[in-house]
């Protein structure tokens, strides 16, 4: 099948689509022949991508505002007459924080963005996806499955996104709607650069992030985009799955302690 015909005639909404992983997903769907609605609260980035990529439309919106998401779905269907795929990509990874440095308010705000935003848009899109027997793709994270130090709220929100994916897959299978998620590992994005820059030694943070993968590099947004198109266009017998796009970062047995310990000793 030619690249430009894999998802031709389909309509896709991508949240957080203005840059990073979201932009990689937008590009991949455009290359597959789809018409893509870019949703982002960063209007300059969204408008720039809309100008660059024929076949895209930018609709500004904040996923934490249900009214914005309702307007996004209504305007998409008004313009294109259908909706085939929703990619819930919008999210945030705060800088490293020890548990005692976190706050309930910060946790609530992260839940609103990373989890409730995914829930709200999916709920609003479902009537249209049921008509088209479309699909939902949630962008979770590898750390939702394996954990991450100094990131308890983020890990909790992403683990919940994966669990939500599985529950929705069960509910929506009767309508022919598939719900899957992608869990990326270290993907080289503006957010990754910002997180590295917030550390005492950015170069060391990037080196550590690179060496976490057996493949010896970080992933690219285009590789997450390719996985999303696969789930939407070809994975017709897959629902409720978590697709790792990680370069093998979860594999292998190795030291994870912060200090050396003698074999067989019990910490006091």
Residues with a known catalytic role: 154
3-state secondary structure of 131: helix
Residue 21 · residue 27 · CB < 8 Å:
no
- 238 CA to centre of own chain: 18
DSSP codes joined into one string, 154-197? HHHHHHHHHHHHHHHHHHHGGGT-EEEEEEE-SB--HHHHHHHH
Name the helix (H) or strand (E) containing 212. Answer: none
Q: Per DSSP, what are the bridge partners of residue 98? A: none
d(C-alpha 158, C-alpha 91), whole Å: 9
Residue 21 · residue 141 · CB < 8 Å:
no
Rg (CA), the chain: 19
Residue 36 · residue 30 · CB < 8 Å:
yes
Phi, psi of 180, deg, nearest 5: -135, 170
Tokens 């130090």 correspond to what residue?
149
Dihedral Cα 207, 209, 213, 218, nearest 10 deg: -90
d(C-alpha 23, C-alpha 29), whole Å: 10
d(C-alpha 118, C-alpha 193), whole Å: 24
């Amino acid at each position: 099948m030619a690249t430009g015909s894999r998802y031709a005639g389909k309509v896709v909404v991508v949240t957080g689509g203005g840059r990073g992983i979201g932009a990689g997903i937008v590009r991949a769907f455009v290359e597959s022949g789809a018409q893509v609605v870019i949703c982002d609260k960063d209007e300059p980035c969204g408008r720039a991508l809309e100008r660059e990529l024929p076949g895209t439309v930018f609709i500004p919106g904040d996923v934490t505002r249900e009214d914005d998401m309702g307007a996004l779905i209504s305007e998409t269907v008004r313009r294109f007459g259908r909706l085939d795929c929703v990619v819930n990509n919008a999210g945030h990874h705060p800088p490293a924080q020890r548990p005692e440095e976190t706050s309930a308010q910060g946790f609530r705000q992260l839940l609103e963005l990373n989890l409730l935003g995914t829930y709200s848009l999916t709920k609003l899109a479902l009537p249209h996806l049921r008509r088209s027997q479309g699909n939902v793709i949630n962008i979770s994270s590898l750390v939702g499955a394996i954990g991450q130090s100094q990131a308890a709220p983020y890990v909790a929100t992403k683990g919940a996104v994966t669990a939500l994916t599985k529950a929705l897959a069960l509910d929506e299978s009767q309508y022919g709607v598939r719900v899957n998620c992608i869990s990326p590992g270290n993907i080289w994005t503006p957010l990754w650069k910002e997180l590295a820059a917030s550390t005492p030694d950015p170069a060391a943070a990037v080196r550590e992030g690179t060496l976490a993968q057996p493949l010896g590099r970080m992933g690219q947004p285009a590789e997450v985009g390719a996985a999303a198109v696969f789930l939407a266009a070809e994975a017709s017998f897959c629902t409720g799955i978590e697709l790792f796009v990680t370069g093998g970062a979860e594999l292998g047995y190795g030291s994870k302690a912060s200090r050396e310990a003698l074999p067989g000793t019990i910490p006091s």
